Amino acid sequence: MRKLNMQPNETLGYLFTFCGLDGCGKTTMLTKLKRELEKDYNVYLTKQPTDSVRNSDIFRTYMDSPDHNAYDYRSLSLLAASDRVQHVNKVIKPQMDSGSIVISDRYFYSCLANLRARGFTKDKWIYEIAESIVKPDVAFFFDVPVETAVTRVRSREKEKDRYIDMELQYKLRDEYIEICKANNGVLISTEMTIKDCYAVVKSEVERMLKK
């Protein structure tokens, strides 16, 4: 696992990113953080990939169907990576330039995790693209057993019948953990209580803001 050589944050603002499996609890954590920070700061909440990718035929095929024969996964990964470069440099950075705190639901790490989890572990292009991406001030990774994450997803009315590739979820979990370690991220087990999980998030954010 190679470390991503991202750009240092040279803006007036901050970037905090949240990654992990669907159902890992990241949305709960970032929502709590946003509510607390916006009392004193200008906060911009965003999500990756953007809707232009999420609503594409290729993305929906990989999310909603076991039949992926119509597409090469690299094409989706390249599409998502391109979307992230555009989003970071034309949306996130301008917000940070103005002094805002940006909270991102998923980030470039998710692109790498998905590519590697599908067997593309020797691809070099994704590391080259990462050089055009701003490094988060704190990158949070939320870890939970796959079975727990899937149960949480299935409890959502709109996703109770959603196709989930279980084998992929196990691989993704391993990749997120390794990416976190390689890139100095903060790994948090959401098997802890919400209160305890958020205490870790809050502590890391406050430490960064005090700098």
Q: Give pTM, 2 decimals.
A: 0.93
In a domain, 177, yes or no: yes
Confidence at residue 20, expressed as pLDDT on a 0 to 100 scale: 97
**Residue partners of 115: CB distance under 8 A and separation at least 6:** 73, 74, 77, 123, 126
Q: What is the pLDDT of residues 31-44, one digit of tens each?
A: 999 999 999 999 99
In a domain, 82, yes or no: yes
In a domain, 6, yes or no: no
In a domain, 196, yes or no: yes
Confidence at residue 1, expressed as pLDDT on a 0 to 100 scale: 84
Question: 29: domain range?
Answer: 14-210
Q: Partners of 134 in the beta sheet?
A: 7
Confidence at residue 133, expressed as pLDDT on a 0 to 100 scale: 96
Number of folded domains in the chain? Answer: 1
CATH number, residue 123: 3.40.50.300
What average pLDDT is seen over the chain?
Answer: 94
In a domain, 1, yes or no: no
Confidence at residue 43, expressed as pLDDT on a 0 to 100 scale: 98
